[in-house]
Amino acid sequence: MTQTRLIKNASQVVTMAGHSERPAKREAMHELNIIENGSVLVQDGKVKAVGTLSELEQQYKEDVLVAEVLDVTGKTVTPGLIDPHTHLVHAGTRENEYAMRLKGKSYMDIMNAGGGIHATTKATRGADFDQLYEESKQRLDTFFQYGVTTIEAKSGYGLSLEHELKQLEVAGKLNEDHAMDVVSTFMGAHAVPVDERDNPEPFVKRVIDEMIPEVARRKIAKFNDVFCERGVFTPEQSRRILEAGKAHGLVPKIHADEIESYGGAELAAEVGAISADHLLKASDEGILKMAANDVMGVLLPGTAFFLMAEFADARKMIDSGVPVALSTDANPGSSPTLSLQFIMNLGCLKMGMTPEEVLTAATINAAHAIDCADRIGSLEAGKQADIAIFDVPNHLMLSYNYGMNHVESVMKKGELVVG
Ligand code: NIG
Ligand code: FE
């Protein structure tokens, strides 16, 4: 039996229709393609049609007659939000470092003293599969509550083949077991292990010669990411790591120009990365190179907020032709939040984006950033029925009443997972 559902009478259905083709275009970021008094017909886990109720009743009479109805009068319906950059799988928290930073210690000082990523690496190495699975599963449940229906998840708190594989296996198992779609990224080059910091080259070689080939052989990641930052991996090391991933079929991503301007945006363009993420300190030249090479800018304003740093210049990027996506960067050190809605608020209030742009950035552009725009990110016939229903009468209210969770219910592949 085919399961048919009708979400009817939304005050707005934000479809994001027409943005699915690659490459994403920054000009289209303000075109939400809203249907006022809209309805969505869902069948077999996919969107069958979107329109006004009378249009759907006329064109799909038989389906509408048998459909299970969800009346969403007065609410706003959007594609399920997509978070294209998270460090989902990790053990523990770092509120002690937060307290230190509030007293003036910097993120990099803490990391260089063996805390930061190293602290979470220690905790994650010490955690077994089940503990990591359980902690991460709870985070996925929370992501659902906040309207997110697909996330990307990075490894990078193992820093050895064994523990990187453990993280990726947890993400892969959750992708199978949990209704959330989890897209995996290998990030063995997240930090140089503490005891090798004076001589990083052997670690870089292990990433290239051992980890990347094994991750690729097991087909447990789609992307390969590197933290290109002074004191972590140089642009030259990052380039070798990303090229090695490419040779094994892993698509490059990069943590670029987060703390310092370091050539990360330029490198992203040169290696053909699908996205460059962070970009707080990206150079003008790097931004132009990204635009010329269709590199998505994944901006993480929660990180700037939490590190008390300057925000990325989203306005400049969009105006220079770089399409932008938004993400939580959910992680225990630089952005311990699971609320992509709050990130959207920050996009408007701190990065000069419009409410239309932030919604595009958290849906179809986020889908582009993880190469899934052919099946998610918009409400169009044939796409996965991943749908967020917000208890607000229009999309502007999402960023107007800030810091709140407006989710009323969430549908994943046609099934209600929240509400
Ligand atoms: O995206 N910059 C590097 N990685 C993460 C932070 C990870 C951590 O602090 O645990 C980020 O900010
Ligand atoms: Fe990150």
* pLDDT of res. 322: 97
Q: Is 255 annotated as a binding residue?
A: yes
- How does pLDDT run across 136-192, given as a tens digit for each residue? 999 999 999 999 999 999 999 999 999 999 999 999 999 999 999 999 999 999 999
- Best residue among 334, 335, 343 to mutate for probing ligand 1, ranked by most atoms within 8 Å of CB: 334
- Best residue among 329, 337, 343 to mutate for probing ligand 1, ranked by most atoms within 8 Å of CB: 329
Q: If you take atom 12 of ligand 1, which residue's CA is the nearest one?
A: 334
Report the nearest atom of ligand 1 relative to the CA of 85: 1
Q: Is 87 annotated as a binding residue?
A: yes
* pLDDT of res. 338: 98
Coil, helix or strand for 331?
strand
* pLDDT of res. 27: 72
* pLDDT of res. 48: 98
Q: If you take atom 9 of ligand 1, which residue's CA is the nearest one?
A: 333
Please count the residues of the chain: 419
What is 170-198 written as a DSSP string? HHHHHHHHSSSEEEEEEEEET---GGGTT
Coil, helix or strand for 238?
helix
- How does pLDDT run across 288-334, given as a tens digit for each residue? 999 999 999 999 999 999 999 999 999 999 999 999 999 999 999 99
395 Cα to the center of ligand 1, angstroms: 31
* pLDDT-based confidence at residue 26 (cuts at 50, 70, 90): confident
Query: Across the chain, what does the average pLDDT equal?
Result: 97
- How does pLDDT run across 190-200, given as a tens digit for each residue? 999 999 999 99
What is 338-361 written as a DSSP string? --HHHHHHHHHHHH---HHHHHHH
**Architecture field, domain 4-80+378-418:** Roll (2.30)
* pLDDT of res. 253: 98
Q: Is 62 annotated as a binding residue?
A: no
% helix, strand, coil for the chain, step of 5: 40, 25, 35
- DSSP tag of 384: B
**Of all residues in the chain, what percent carry a pLDDT higher than 70?**
100
* pLDDT-based confidence at residue 107 (cuts at 50, 70, 90): very high
187 Cα to the center of ligand 2, angstroms: 10
Is the pLDDT confidence value at 87 over 60?
A: yes
- How does pLDDT run across 231-287, given as a tens digit for each residue? 999 999 999 999 999 999 999 999 999 999 999 999 999 999 999 999 999 999 999
Report the nearest atom of ligand 1 relative to the CA of 278: 1
* pLDDT of res. 103: 97
How far is the C-alpha of 251 from the C-alpha of 241, rounded, in Å?
A: 11
- Name the CATH superfamily housing domain 82-369: Metal-dependent hydrolases (3.20.20.140)
363 Cα to the center of ligand 1, angstroms: 23
* pLDDT of res. 91: 98
356 Cα to the center of ligand 1, angstroms: 28
Determine the average pLDDT of the residues in 124-145: 98
pTM: 0.98
* pLDDT-based confidence at residue 2 (cuts at 50, 70, 90): low
Ordered by start, the domain boundaries in the chain are 4-80+378-418, 82-369
Coil, helix or strand for 332?
coil
Alpha helices in 201-339 (DSSP H): 201-206, 212-218, 235-247, 264-271, 284-292, 301-307, 314-319
21 Cα to the center of ligand 2, angstroms: 26
User: Does this chain's domain 4-80+378-418 share its CATH topology with 82-369?
Assistant: no
Q: Find the helix or strand (DSSP H, E) in which 124 lies.
A: helix 117-126
> Which of 7 and 27 is assigned the larger pLDDT?
7
Q: Where are the beta strands (DSSP E) in 44-95?
A: 46-52, 68-71, 76-79, 81-83
Report the nearest atom of ligand 1 relative to the CA of 329: 1
Q: If you take atom 6 of ligand 1, which residue's CA is the nearest one?
A: 334
